[in-house]
Structure 1
Amino acid sequence: MSQNMKQKHFIDMHKGATAPVILFLIYFYNQWENQTAWIYLALHGTYGILWVLKSQIFPDKTWEQPSNIWYGLYMWFGLTLYWVSPWIITSGYFSNGVAVQVPVWYSGICISMYSLGVFIHFTADMQKHTALKLRPRSLIHDGMFRYCRNINYFGEFLIYLGFSLLAMHWIPIAC
């Protein structure tokens, strides 16, 4: 089985598991009325779904590499650090058991960062996928890549910054 596994399988499974994990945290810490937890679920949960769809519709060749089970589990563990934010939000661990609830204006900033990040990340990945299909091994120097070689990573940075800032703690930023 592990001979047929690719890095993307582990990544996609993890990203797809994000919404159920966050729902479990909301349940476990009884945070059904916590608006910040629900906003986090909406953002990171939909990002997980969008990622899996993107992986199927216009896959990134980087993640098509074969992976053994040990490297796959190593990647899974690394990606699990992204679940620190919803744990901090729902558990209240760093605020004497009081769950994190951010002001509405702050939510708006985080949602805007996430939205802009999704646009940049997915638009750049689609352009890269299409351009390399039409002209393999060529340098892309127009559109989203006109001024920046790695604009898709800037999009991902904005996405994860939007998630991390909702926790109102430095640890998710460090992760």
Structure 2
Amino acid sequence: MGAYKTPGPARRIYDLVGYLTEQFGGGSRHLKMAWVINFHKAFTLFLILGMMAWLENFSTSAWVYLGLHGIYGYCWLVKDFGFRDGSFENRVTWGGALMTYLLLVGWYWLFPWLFLTRATPPSNELLFVAVAIHSWGITWMIAADCQKYFQLKYRKGLMTTGMFRYTRNPNFFGEILIYLAYALLAGHWLTWVVFIYAASYFYVRMLVKDGSISRYPEWADYAARSSRLLPWRLITAPFEAHTLRENES
């Protein structure tokens, strides 16, 4: 397997979004992207509380949702303060910050509103599934970002072990699970539009990343035994190992 070439449309979308969220409107770049994102994460808790007060919805399920989506932002902040992704150090214009909200993160605020205004509260079973998916997603995202930060800090190169053993994008996998939990809880068609929109952009970033890391000599072997997103070999690997032992015996 040779070097992977990022599809042209994916590359153009990635470059366009990068331009709009960093340089739109021109002028000085006074803001770090981390500040833009972190404000969104920190403010979400209070925004959801405000929605609950406005709608007079203080049901048990509303508090559960607040504990998930509202506190997720503070999990993110702990991660950011401990091992920030280098890309968030990029400086952006005020127009770029605005476009970050209009194109990317602002849409996530639809989830709590649509959840709090749903006609019937979610079942206990749905709450369980959402909490389970959300917890798993946060674990994947934070563990992967932690490994990425410290491994690249002390040893540059292609990451093929740990969280990256079976999927090349465990952090994106975790984030998708997190927003999947919110979409399930909201139970509205519009939340699925937002979810698919967000997941599609994550996928564009995965395609661009594959094009970048395919320059490493280990790429061919790594790509053959890993997936772009779903860590499906977590399930199949034990069976493959069992079959191999049987063949050797």
Taking structure 2 as the reference length, what is the TM-score of the superposition?
Answer: 0.64
- The Cα of 1:91 is off from its aligned counterpart by 2.8
Counterpart in the other structure of 2:229: none
5+ long unaligned stretches in structure 2: 1-27, 195-249
AA in 2 matched with 1:39: V
Whether contact under 8 Å (1:35, 1:101) holds in the other structure is no
CA contact (8 A) 2:101 2:107 kept: no
Gaps of 5+ in 1: 93-97
Amino acid at match of 1:163: Y
2:192 equivalent to 1:173: yes
Paired position in structure 1 for 2:160: 141
Which residue does the alignment assign to 1:89? 115
Aligned structure 1 segments of 4 or more residues deviating by more than 4 angstroms: none
Matches within 5 A, 1:1-175: 3-32=29-58, 34-77=59-102, 78-92=104-118, 98=119, 100-136=120-156, 138-175=157-194
C-alpha deviation, 1:40, in angstroms: 1.1
Contact 1:36-1:166 within 8 A present in 2 as well: no
Partners of 1:54 and 1:149 lie apart in 2 by 20
Instruction: Note the C-alpha offset of 1:83.
Output: 1.0
**Alignment coverage as a number of residue pairs:** 166
Contact 1:18 1:48 in 2 (8 A): yes
Q: TM-score, normalised by structure 1?
A: 0.90
**RMSD over aligned Cα atoms:** 1.2
Contact 1:7 1:66 in 2 (8 A): yes
SS at match of 1:3: coil
Q: Secondary structure at the match of 2:172?
A: helix
Identity of aligned residues (%): 34
Q: Distance in 2 between matches of 1:156 and 1:114?
A: 9
Which residue number corresponds to residue 236 of structure 2? none
